[in-house]
Structure 1
Amino acid sequence: MGELKNCPSCGEFFNYTGLREVCNNCAMNEEKQYEVVYRFLRKRENRAATVERIVEATGIEESLLHKWVRKNRLQPAMFPNLGYPCDNCGKITQQGKLCVSCTEELKSGLRQFDAAKEFRDKVANQDHGTYHADIKRK
């Protein structure tokens, strides 16, 4: 059984089951808009269109295009200039949640953290024996 939610597009209540994040009316409207965009992109001369060009030609919201690319309804392999914003910096990416530079930055930070942790563990596990100096006094 679903839960009652407000549609983020129109504000109406709908039964949210996890399949769609908008109400039935908005979902049907989005599907019609998707068909407009897909018909536009199927034309050979439009396959390399940018997001800005698609928005200009079809009147569809940029956020809907990003949503469809993120959900693989519009695939960058077929339409190479499509993408969606990186969750971290907003730069356009075509896969995952982060762009290549943010992914590399995150990996670098993790490598540094692992190296520091390894060093701390090594220092903590060293034998801290007591050293005595044998000094003879005259």
Structure 2
Amino acid sequence: MGEVRTCPSCGEFFNYVGVRDVCYKCAQKEEEMYQMVYRFLRKRENRAATVERIVEATGVDKELLYKWVRKGRLHPAVFPNLGYPCDNCGRLTTTGKLCERCAKELKDDLRAFEAAKEFRENIQKSERATYLSNQDKKEK
């Protein structure tokens, strides 16, 4: 059983069952726009078109293009200048939520954090060991 949601495109209520994030009428309109974009991109001279060029030629919203690339309906392997914005910096990417540069920076930061954490733990262990050995000598 689905839940009642408001269509983000037109504001109408629709039964959301996990398949489409818009109502049936808007989904039909999106499909028509997708077919128009796909026909445009299938022409050899348009295969390397940028997002801006596609928007200019077809009138389709950028966000719809990004949605189709994210969902795998338009493949960057076939259309090399397509992608969607990185969640961190906004550069176009074709996989995941982050571009390669942001993913690398995040991994480097995590490695540095882990190294610093390990260093702090080693210092605390050595201080604790020194403290306990001195305490043991005083008790005897």
TM-score normalised by L of structure 1: 0.91
Write the mapping of 1:20-39 to structure 2, written as runs, cut at 5 A: 20-39=20-39
Q: Match for residue 90 of structure 1?
A: 90
Q: CA RMSD in A?
A: 1.1
Letter in 2 for 1:48: A
Letter in 1 for 2:26: C
Residue 70 of structure 1: CA displacement? 0.8
1:72 aligned counterpart, secondary structure: coil
Q: Match for residue 130 of structure 1?
A: 134
Q: Match for residue 59 of structure 1?
A: 59
Residue 125 of structure 1: CA displacement? 2.0
Residue 2 of structure 1: CA displacement? 1.1
* Structure 1 ranges of 4+ moved more than 2 A: none
Q: Which has the higher helix share?
A: 2
Residues 23-47 of structure 1 deviation map (CA, whole Å, 9 limit, x = unaligned): 1111111000000000000011100
**Identical aligned residues as a percent:** 66
Residue 130 of structure 1: CA displacement? 1.8
Give the distance between the partners of 1:24 and 1:100, measured in 2 at CA: 36
Question: Unaligned 5+ residue runs, structure 1?
Answer: 132-138
Q: Match for residue 69 of structure 1?
A: 69
Question: Unaligned 5+ residue runs, structure 2?
Answer: 136-140
- How many residues are paired up? 131
Q: Match for residue 134 of structure 1?
A: none
Give the distance between the partners of 1:124 and 1:27, measured in 2 at CA: 59
Residue 83 of structure 1: CA displacement? 0.6
Give the distance between the partners of 1:8 and 1:116, measured in 2 at CA: 45
Residues 43-80 of structure 1 deviation map (CA, whole Å, 9 limit, x = unaligned): 11100011111111111111100100111100000000
Give the distance between the partners of 1:5 and 1:120, measured in 2 at CA: 50
